[in-house]
Amino acid sequence: MIEKYKIKPILINVKNYHEFYQKILIAGYKIKIWNKRTDSKIYKYFLPAIRDYMFWAFNIKDAKDFSKMDIEMQSAICNNYKCTIFEKDDTQIVCFSTGIGFIIGDKIEKNIIECDYLQNIEEINIDKSKTYKIEAEEIELYSYILVLYKFVFLNKLDKIMENKELFNKNRKMFVDFVQDIYTKRMTDNSIENKKIDEWEEKLAIEKLYISVENKFDLFYKNSRLDSHDSMFRITIILLIVLIIIGTINLGNWIA
């Protein structure tokens, strides 16, 4: 059934993910647990790599026992996965381990959307008042969320890639993103793939990717040059030291 969805991107401080998960759970949100039988359309729609990335809760064997776990334990389990979806009434919160999240729906508690565990999303050049809208079935909703995730993540990486001190960390994030999501197809459905391509084109995701890749290449080359310069300077210093020592030894020998 086609529904109208409103989606708001948020930026979560990755250092406070555990606390943010706890806050969501305390507010009455539940981890969305998928069932291979009742949610078979979603299970069959997404390819295995995407299911493993976004829908790990399909693997929960006993939903009742899992729901009985205390909040501390549930939030700790969520920390081990790359994406967790929470739900309460008509609202969902999708959290990716990279610090990117999405609120689906209109009803969201003020103490969550304004909590200290969130960062100002305008820091990565995304308008904090921006809301994305889509009319779609539930399956398409999650495809669109993944497209939006690519868009927000590349915006984030495009911004933080400018920090040379965090280059190695950012490089790993970029490589993981390319391997886990960017190069992976979501579904085998050709009609849905066409929609996904149209969404990505509208958000200019390929252009963003090229921008990030160019920065990555530039910083990588510069870091190698800096490394070569450092080795050259060290070599020169060692030669000078050896010359001084040799001169001193020669003077002692002549004396």
pLDDT score at 248: 52
Alpha-carbon gap, residue 145 to 157, rounded angstroms: 18
pLDDT score at 246: 56
pLDDT score at 232: 47
Using only C-alpha atoms, what is the Rg of the chain? 25
In a structure prediction context, what are the per-residue pLDDT tens digits for the chain, which is 255 residues long? 788 999 999 999 988 888 999 999 999 999 999 888 899 999 999 999 999 999 999 988 888 888 888 999 998 988 889 999 999 988 999 999 999 999 998 888 888 888 889 988 888 888 888 899 999 888 899 999 999 999 999 998 888 776 677 777 878 888 888 888 998 999 999 999 999 999 999 999 999 988 888 888 777 676 654 544 445 454 545 555 555 555 555 455 455
pTM over the 0.85 mark: no
pLDDT score at 228: 47
Closest to 177 (Cα-Cα) out of 152, 195, 200: 152
Q: How many Cα atoms within 13 Å fall on the side-chain side of residue 82?
A: 14
CA–CA distance from 35 to each of 61, 193, 205, 253 (Å)? 9, 24, 32, 86
Where do the domains of the chain lie?
Answer: 3-218
Closest to 161 (Cα-Cα) out of 175, 147, 149: 175
pLDDT score at 198: 95
Quickly tell me which residue has 């084109």 as its tokens: 201
CA–CA distance from 220 to each of 88, 161, 163, 211, 224 (Å)? 44, 11, 12, 14, 6
Judging by DSSP bridges, how do beta strands 91-96 and 83-88 pair with one another? antiparallel
